[in-house]
Structure 1
Amino acid sequence: MKRTNCKIAFNDKLLMLFAIPLLSFIIPIVFFGCRLNRQPYFNVARFFSTFIIIVLLWMVNRYILIWCRKRYPRFSDVRKRLLIQISTMLLVTLLGNNLLHYILTETIFTENPVSVFDTDHLITSNAAAMFCLIMIIGIYESIYFMHELRSSVQETENLKRENLAAQLNALRTQVNPHFLFNNLNTLISLIPENPDHAVDFVQQLSKVYRHILEVKDEKSIPLKDELDVLHAYTFLMKTRFDKNLEVNVDVPAEKLQKRIVPLSLQILMENAIKHNIVSSDKPLQINVFTDNGSLVVSNNLQMKKQVNESTGIGLNNIRNRYKMLSDAPVKVTESETNFTVSIPLIEQ
């Protein structure tokens, strides 16, 4: 596979090998009226002087183009990028063209010297330079735009598939035999000992299932709704693990109308319980709070030696679904004692 600069979007070596000599031949004929059989003659000196100018200006403008794309990579910065890019390329092309013309005619190709103050020559020369610049911008930007459009469409389709997979996996997880087995066993033990608690348990279990069905087609939901189902899920887990599991939620009221990817809190809490020891000797503590526009889920780290097979739901699904909604990344940090996931809160 041919190597390409990711900010160019295609291998432009062949383009330069073809276009630069072609322009070096065309420009003296079209813009300066050079001919092979009469004055002003089109000769080797004309060709190579034009060739040198085009090569230098092409490479400088190519560098400016790459720098601007690296400096302003986001789609929201396209207008700003093009304004800065085109302005810089225009200024560099005009100054560079006139300076190079003067240097070449005064030092190397001196057989047809041109006065610095020759207005007609300056206009023609700069018009030729602008023609090259427009061609460079047109070719590179059109190919780059098509490449970005193709990548965007492909990424959107991939994220849609990820989103659908997350929804299906979430539903599948909640109805898998292990989940039902654990909750039914808990319910069986509650019915004779504490019938009222058993009724509450069934109601909270129903709330979790109902929430999954309601949000399966939603891209984002209010944080308040997600916290409500988190409390229901916490109730189920606390009933099962009792004092061995502690869940602390501290979210200010003004943050409750922010939006969040559905099922993300449940997935993070489920992963924490799944991958860590939950016992009287090593109780698991999960903290949910806000920090700098993000919702943070943190737990003390006490990894199990053997972990059940993954359900397919996890951080990658959360990350990929957030890519459809926000430029802010999902941040994951792990220390010797804590595992923390920070997910962006989305404006309504």
Structure 2
Amino acid sequence: MRKTNCRIGFNDGMLMVIGIPLLSFIIPIVFFNCRFNRSPFLTWDKYFTTMMITTVIWLGNRYIMIYSRKKYSIFDEVRKRIIFQSLLMFIFTVTANTVVGIFTKEIFADEHAAYFSETDILIHSNSAALFCTIMIIAIYESIYFMHELRHSVEETEKLKRENLAAQLNALRSQVNPHFLFNNLNTLSSLIPESPDHAVDFVQQLSKVYRHILEVKDEKSISLKDELEVLNAYTFLLKTRFDKNLQVNINIPQEKLQKKIVPLSLQILMENAIKHNIVSSDKPLHIDVFTENGSLVISNNLQMKNQVNESTGIGLENIRNRYKLLSDAPVKVTENETNFTVSIPLIDN
């Protein structure tokens, strides 16, 4: 892997090795009209003097860029950073060039006196210094933005891959042997005791599985459609747990056209059942409602004594899929009595 300078964003050692000598060669020719075959001649002392000034300006401006990126580290603040950075670099460049120029003006002054006045030399010198600064800004910022663009593209691709994996994991978490086994056991006990209820149970079970297959490739789904399937899923759970499970769904009509991530409600409902005691002594209460632009799923906390801690895969899947759809985060809060998850409601 190529080494990078974390302060500047890339390894700029080779850039300085090539850039400083090259600019030091170009500046006397362009700004002071120096030539090899006529006066004013481009001599070694002029070249090394220019290289010394260029090095001071380059390293000073490089430090200013590092400082500016620390001060405005968020990419959204790039406009503020560029303005702040450019002002500092302009002041530093003119000051440094003027100060260093006082000690080196004899090298250019004698031979150039016939061509330029002292004021002209100062103007040409500062113009050359500002040209050097503009080149530094252009090179470093171009590489910086290319790096950020590549990082953004890689992050987007990573999120897409995670989204596909999350959808697959969500599907697997629903269509798992335990879920099917538990429902088949419930169905087998219903058939001799209540055939009509058994028929309803099969229809709701079919509805849940059909929904899973239909939405597995969707990024979002309307809250109305998801709630219809949640009702079917709740029917299965309540048939199994009877009065030991209480589910209260209270969603205003105007929120039904909002979007959420598919299967998120079923995953959260299943997590509540999986990690909490559901019994006649300790009934589990699950509330589903809207609050502050989010859909909230909350349950009373009565954790099972589990040997293995929760992996958190279900919640992580939901978080990763939401990253592709919304900047609003998935919020998880837990206290002594309740466990609550808030997922953003997305506009069409």
Q: Same fold (TM over 0.5)?
A: yes
1:264 maps to 264
1:258 Cα shift? 1.5
2:159 maps to 159
1:297 Cα shift? 1.9
Following superposition of structure 1 onto structure 2, how do residues 242-257 of structure 1 map, counting pairs within 5 Å?
Answer: 242-257=242-257
1:274 Cα shift? 1.0
Partner-residue secondary structure (3-state), 1:262 = coil
Identity of aligned residues (%): 69
Contact kept? 2:8, 2:65, Cα under 8 Å: no
1:110 Cα shift? 5.9
Structure 1: state its 5+ residue gaps: none
Structure 2: state its 5+ residue gaps: 110-116
Partner-residue secondary structure (3-state), 2:340 = strand
1:191 maps to 191
Hey, what's the Cα distance between the residues in 1 that align with 2:318 and 2:222? 16
Hey, what's the Cα distance between the residues in 1 that align with 2:66 and 2:24? 18
1:238-288 deviation per Cα after TM superposition (whole angstroms, max 9, x unaligned):
111122222222322222221111111111111111122212222222222
Hey, what's the Cα distance between the residues in 1 that align with 2:242 and 2:204? 16
2:84 maps to 88
Contact kept? 2:97, 2:129, Cα under 8 Å: no
Structure 1 49/166 Cα, relative in aligned 2: closer, same or farther at 3 Å? closer
Structure 1 3/242 Cα, relative in aligned 2: closer, same or farther at 3 Å? farther
Partner-residue secondary structure (3-state), 2:278 = coil
Per mean C-alpha deviation after superposition, the further-off stretch among 299-308 and 309-318 is 309-318
1:131 counterpart = 2:131:
yes
Hey, what's the Cα distance between the residues in 2 that align with 1:307 and 1:229? 32
Contact kept? 1:24, 1:47, Cα under 8 Å: yes
Contact kept? 2:220, 2:262, Cα under 8 Å: yes
Per mean C-alpha deviation after superposition, the further-off stretch among 121-130 and 206-215 is 121-130
Following superposition of structure 1 onto structure 2, how do residues 160-239 of structure 1 map, counting pairs within 5 Å?
Answer: 160-239=160-239
Hey, what's the Cα distance between the residues in 1 that align with 2:336 and 2:230? 26
Contact kept? 2:57, 2:133, Cα under 8 Å: no
Per mean C-alpha deviation after superposition, the further-off stretch among 12-21 and 186-195 is 12-21
Contact kept? 2:20, 2:55, Cα under 8 Å: yes
1:63 maps to 67
Hey, what's the Cα distance between the residues in 2 that align with 1:326 and 1:246? 31
Contact kept? 2:331, 2:342, Cα under 8 Å: yes
Partner-residue secondary structure (3-state), 2:160 = helix
Structure 1 258/15 Cα, relative in aligned 2: closer, same or farther at 3 Å? same
Contact kept? 1:301, 1:337, Cα under 8 Å: yes
Higher radius of gyration, 1 or 2: 2
1:100 maps to 96
Hey, what's the Cα distance between the residues in 2 that align with 1:6 and 1:99? 28
1:99-136 deviation per Cα after TM superposition (whole angstroms, max 9, x unaligned):
22333344x4464699xx96534543444344333433
**RMSD value over aligned CA atoms?**
3.2
Contact kept? 2:222, 2:260, Cα under 8 Å: yes
Partner-residue secondary structure (3-state), 2:59 = helix
TM-score under structure 2 length normalisation: 0.82
1:53 maps to 57
Paired residue type of 2:233 = Y
Structure 1 343/12 Cα, relative in aligned 2: closer, same or farther at 3 Å? farther
2:112 maps to none
Hey, what's the Cα distance between the residues in 2 that align with 1:17 and 1:164? 45
Structure 1 276/205 Cα, relative in aligned 2: closer, same or farther at 3 Å? same
TM-score under structure 1 length normalisation: 0.82
Partner-residue secondary structure (3-state), 2:262 = coil
Structure 1 154/52 Cα, relative in aligned 2: closer, same or farther at 3 Å? closer
Hey, what's the Cα distance between the residues in 2 that align with 1:6 and 1:258? 42
Paired residue type of 1:192 = P
Structure 1 44/175 Cα, relative in aligned 2: closer, same or farther at 3 Å? closer
